[in-house]
Chain A
Amino acid sequence: EAGVTQSPTHLIKTRGQQATLRCSPISGHTSVYWYQQALGLGLQFLLWYDEGEERNRGNFPPRFSGRQFPNYSSELNVNALELEDSALYLCASSLPGVGRRAQYFGPGTRLTVL
């Protein structure tokens, strides 16, 4: 069974541009999560989507947004890129339902902002 996939693997942008990152969950998983791992830091929760709706949001500015499509894949959009947005962005998916569900991660997208 295919795991969580993410594209692109690497993305290089300049300050002020927009970045779009994509994620496909494991088949049967309806929840998708986005995390940011900046250099030297642990994973920081960004967004949680389930059944097409945003369910929860971490402590990030509104220029971080996303959506979930009917096939449960998801996009993360980062507008007005800043240098400190350079990080590894990880997507995870889990089975439906609230609480006590292991999340399974993709390989990540390395975003570099110049």
Chain B
Amino acid sequence: DQQVKQNSPSLSVQEGRISILNCDYTNSMFDYFLWYKKYPAEGPTFLISISSIKDKNEDGRFTVFLNKSAKHLSLHIVPSQPGDSAVYFCAASERGSGANNLFFGTGTRLTVIP
């Protein structure tokens, strides 16, 4: 049962425009959410995170929005650059002790067109 879902396998955006990647989750015990970027033949690279006590976190061109009532989060990249082309994974972890493992979505492949 996939508790973290990324329903768009791919997304293409023009350079300079906004990229919006979406993620939905089903587990109400999730309280920490992360986005990772993955290039071919490399491990995922941590991008940005947000805890459930916030609804927005910003780091440079990357902003993550969390809508707890909808169990939805999104990653905005503005402006998009060709180097942002990669697979983006959404991940979440549960509150409470002994639950450090992350639950990942299946990823969205972002292509930024020059």
Interface on A for B, CB 8 Å cutoff?
Answer: 4, 6, 31, 33, 35, 40-45, 48, 50, 55-56, 58, 90, 92, 94, 98-108
> Top 4 nearest A-B pairs by Cβ distance?
A105-B43, A45-B101, A43-B104, A42-B106
Least Cβ–Cβ distance between A60 and chain B, in angstroms: 12
Least Cβ–Cβ distance between A89 and chain B, in angstroms: 10
Bits for B84-114, please: 1 = Cβ < 8 Å to A, else 0: 0000010101011111111111110000000
Contact A43 B89 (CB under 8 A): yes
Q: Which of B41, B44, B46, B100 has the most CB of A within 10 A?
A: B100
- How far, in angstroms, from A106 to B42 measured CA to CA in the complex? 7
Least Cβ–Cβ distance between B31 and chain A, in angstroms: 8
Contact B104 A58 (CB under 8 A): no
Least Cβ–Cβ distance between A74 and chain B, in angstroms: 14
- The 8 Å CB contact of B97, one of A48, A58, A98, A101, is A98
Assuming A41-B106, A42-B89, A42-B105, is B44 touching A99 (CB within 8 A)?
no
Given A42-B4, A103-B102, A105-B36, output 6 extra A-B contacts at Cβ < 8 Å.
A6-B43, A45-B102, A48-B101, A55-B98, A99-B32, A108-B43
Contact B45 A99 (CB under 8 A): no
- How far, in angstroms, from A44 to B31 measured CA to CA in the complex? 19
